[in-house]
Copies of this chain bind each other. A is one copy, B any other.
């Protein structure tokens, strides 16, 4: 099986030592990725975007890979500022305040009039808005409760491309066909696991993420649109590395590290469910190219149905399925 120019439309590369340790795990096998801006402090200026991109380029060394940069949304962004930064960014990421790792500076209310100047400027400049869509409600309800906010934003800003990031519920899937300007990314782990895998047997910190994995019927809804490569969905790993001690402790940080084996797992998933390479190609690259209007670097990944033992860690970061065997291996990367 060959995949051309795979794209990861939602990726956390972190910064500093972690960036240097894990950047190549994505850069080796993907042509590019949307890079999340939730650093400390968050990426909110042109200078910060450019400097972060430079650090990423340095960290990936001689790998061929495009970091599609983003800003951390702030309602104060105006057209002058956004015009000045337009060439440096591919999207802007909106976090509700306090909802996930380093999101303290996010949006608290979703008052359309308060958001209008920034979101209309984004519409005019054709900058997609990526949204972490969760409320502060009960953990299993947070995403479904956010649906009304997606509806409000999609209606108020019909020309704004709104990407529902890492969707986990049937409720979000159902929005795709109701609003022309709503799109979604889906992670590999939310296609594979439910809350049962996180907390149904032993508690598994390395499968703990936000949004938390949901019910079987939610996963089924996600699988349906991913396997058919619904034109409004794209692969976005939300791969989110934390040091092992931050995951295996009395308070475990949210995030699943999937980047190094995401393509292998996707190949296995699409194969297991009888979907085609063409559908996987669309899910992992084609749809994103259309939605974002990007033309990725050439890179061809050859995958074979050959067991791969997942390493116990990548420089101190424990991946999903650590020490387990998965069915597909990457046997060649050509540029």
Contact = CB atoms under 8 A, between A and B. Distances in A.
B250 A215 contact: no
Interface in A174-208: 194-196, 198-206, 208
A251 B203 contact: yes
A138 B205 CA distance: 18
A213 to B, nearest CB: 10
B200 A203 contact: no
Interface residues on A, range: 20 to 34
A248 interface: yes
Interface in A236-259: 247-254
A252 to B, nearest CB: 4
A63 B215 CA distance: 47
**Copies per complex?**
2
Interface in A101-160: 138-140
Interface string A196-230: 10111111111010001001100000000000000
A318 interface: yes
B250 A205 contact: yes
Contacts of A139: 195-196, 199-200
A289 to B, nearest CB: 36
A322 interface: yes
Given A199-B212, A208-B203, A250 B318 contact: yes
B254 A216 contact: no
A240 B208 CA distance: 23
B250 A322 contact: yes
Nearest to A216: B138
Nearest to A252: B203
A217 to B, nearest CB: 9
